[in-house]
Structure formats: C-alpha cells, structure tokens
Amino acid sequence: MKIMIYIGHPAHVHFFKNFVKQMEKKGHKIKILVVSKDITTNLLKKYNLEYELIDSYKPNLLNKVFGLIKRNINFIRHSIKFKPDIYLGIANVYGSHTSFLFRKPSIWFSDTETSKQVEKLTLPFCSNVLTPTCFKKNLGKKHILYKGFHELAYLHPNQFKPNKNILKKLNLKEGEKFFVLRFVSWKSAHIRSEKGFSLDDKKNLIEKLEKHGKVFITSEVDLPNHLNKYKLSIEPSKIHDLIYYSTMYIGEGATMATESGILGTPSFYISSMVYDFGNFIELKKLGLVESYRNYNNFKNRLTEILKNKNIKKEWKVKRDSMLKDKIDVTSFIIWFVENYPNSAKEMKNNPKLQKKFIKISQ
C-alpha cells in the first residue's frame, strides 16, 4: 500500500511517527509532505523520517490564500509521481482536495472542535474523519469515533518508554522535585482572542514553585531577561521524557497539558478557552487534567497541591485506571488503514470491536 501523509505542525510528527515506522516495517510505502513550521522538520530528522517540503509556514492572510493554491498544486504534483492509494493527515485540507480529484480515499484525524475553517475546507472532500469519543461535535456520516485520546498515538505504554537520561542532562536526581511550565504565543487564528498568564502571574507562579523545586520553562514567545534562566534547553524530542518524570505541569499549552495528564503527571491548564474542548472535559472527569480560566482561579488550588506529598502517586493511579478503558491509538490506526474501507464499515456497525486495542503489551 502507498500512503501519503500531510504534516503541518510538530504535534503531527508525534502522532504519525510510530505509525510510519511500523507500517514501513510491514512493507508499506510512505510519502510525507510537510509545511515547515517551528521545529517540525527537526523532529522528522530526529526520528529518521523522510519527507518532502511543499511550503513554509507564514502566518498572514495573503499566504493563507496563495498557500492553499500552492500546496494543493504541490500535493497534485507529488501524487502524480507517487500514486498513493490513500491519504492521511490532521487538518489535511490539501490531501482531502487532492484525494477527491484523483478519486482516492482520504482519512482526516482531529480532536479540536474549534477548527471550523478546516472543517469547511475538508469535510466535503475527505472519506472519513476520526476523532476521540469525547469529541463534542457531530461531523456527520463520515465521522468515526475511537476510544482514546489523540496523544495516546505516541504516549500509550505500547508506544512510549520514558528515558531517565533526561534527568542527568538537566542535573536532576531521580525523585527530585521539578516543575515544567508552558507559555504559548496566542497567535493562532482560533485562539487569538484568548489569554492565559500575565507577566505578573508568571513571576508570582515561579516564586511559589521555586520554594519546592526547580523550574523549567518552555515558551513559544521570547521570555523577559529575568526569566531566561528558567528556559528549558533540551531537544524537542525529549520533552515527553521530561514531563513524565516532572512533579507537575502548569501551562497555557493544551497539548502539553493533555500529554502530562496521560503520562500520569499532575497537570494544570490555565486558559480562557478551557471549556472548548471535549478532551479536557473527559480528562477532568478522569482527574488527570485540571483546567482554570485564569491564574487567580488557580492560586488557592496551587497552594493546596504543593502541600500534597503524594500527588504524583495519586495521578499515577488515575492514569492506570484511564488506560484500562482506552486504546493503543497507533495500533488501531494501522488496522484501520490496512483494512480500509471495510474497517470503516465495521467501526460503524460494531464500535466495540476496538476493545482489542486496549491491551498493554509487556
């Protein structure tokens, strides 16, 4: 089988990396097309995933219009040469358009209910869209739900084993308390009107945390000089090792908040858009991620949890409980793609069949 995958964001690399490697081992041919953004290409190189660059990311209206045309043309050009049997992607507008043109199936993955523009440009042309069961919107007859979280494609125990070497690189001892903070730029189209921490909030938060352990900051925006000493300096591919061993995650980053909770690390998401996502509603019910609309609402809770010496153990218990009801998403996608389109029909008729992907291998 020949599979063409679109990757337009660093998080997409994590989502597809294990799928690509395992499918290639089985003899399938993969072509990855990339729009370069942030650390996307660096991650692909780190994981030894071959790719073709079709455009670079430029966050302006003019590029969005002409970029759509340019990327569709590049998709068509690569499709004529590669002749894919199926197209995959997250928010895969270009792959959906091209697959429709060549009368080939395309599968779109999503866990973001606020991507209205992408839905309008993609749904009429794709074959199926797959989302977690916690996804709040009904996307129609093409919509298929799976019992998992987007992040379980790469953080399920079958797909991820934490590496303790990250602790040595940061001069940390195993069991030593440390905190990971994440600040975002708030420039994406669907979150531009939202907000998280103010500069004073960040200062106050760090002062409180420093009394209990080391503080590391990962940030999309430049930090003021007095916060630069906290800036995290590790390879992006090592971030999941770090948050697995961290005492706590606090930040504006929705993806990292989910990743932390799924890894069994106490996770606290601070954002004015906390109730927009179905995965956060479910993660709250599971007790894995707590969400607060602003830092003031979180202060009292922070004081409380810093006194709790067993908080990491408590989160680990909740994480183990969650895994008893969630699938290994990568293994499920491999089955779904290899058996498509019959797999889509089977999932529609009997969604319970996916229970076979819940098992954790030893």
Match 């007095």 to its residue by tokens.
226
Q: Quick check: helix, strand or coil at residue 17?
A: helix
Per-residue model confidence as pLDDT tens digits over 264-317:
999 999 987 766 789 999 999 999 999 998 999 999 999 999 999 999 999 999
Specify the CATH superfamily of domain 2-156+327-357: Glycogen Phosphorylase B; (3.40.50.2000)
Q: What is the pLDDT of residue 97?
A: 93
The burial of 36, by beta-carbon neighbours within 10 Å (0-12 exposed, 13-18 middle, 19 or more buried), is given as middle
Tell me the average confidence (pLDDT) per consecutive run of 10 residues in the chain, 362 residues long: 94 96 98 86 94 76 67 93 97 90 96 82 94 94 96 97 95 94 67 64 93 93 87 92 97 93 97 79 95 92 94 96 97 98 97 94 73
**Domain 165-323 annotated CATH 3.40.50.300:** no
User: What's the distance, Cα to Cα, between the start and end of the chain in Å?
Assistant: 29
pTM above 0.85, yes or no: yes
Domain ranges within the chain, ordered by starting residue: 2-156+327-357, 165-323
Buried (b) or exposed (e) across 73-98, using 16+ Cβ within 10 A? ebbeebbeebebebbbbbbbbbbbbb
Q: What is the pLDDT of residue 62?
A: 55
Per-residue model confidence as pLDDT tens digits over 228-270:
999 998 998 999 999 999 999 999 988 999 999 999 999 999 9
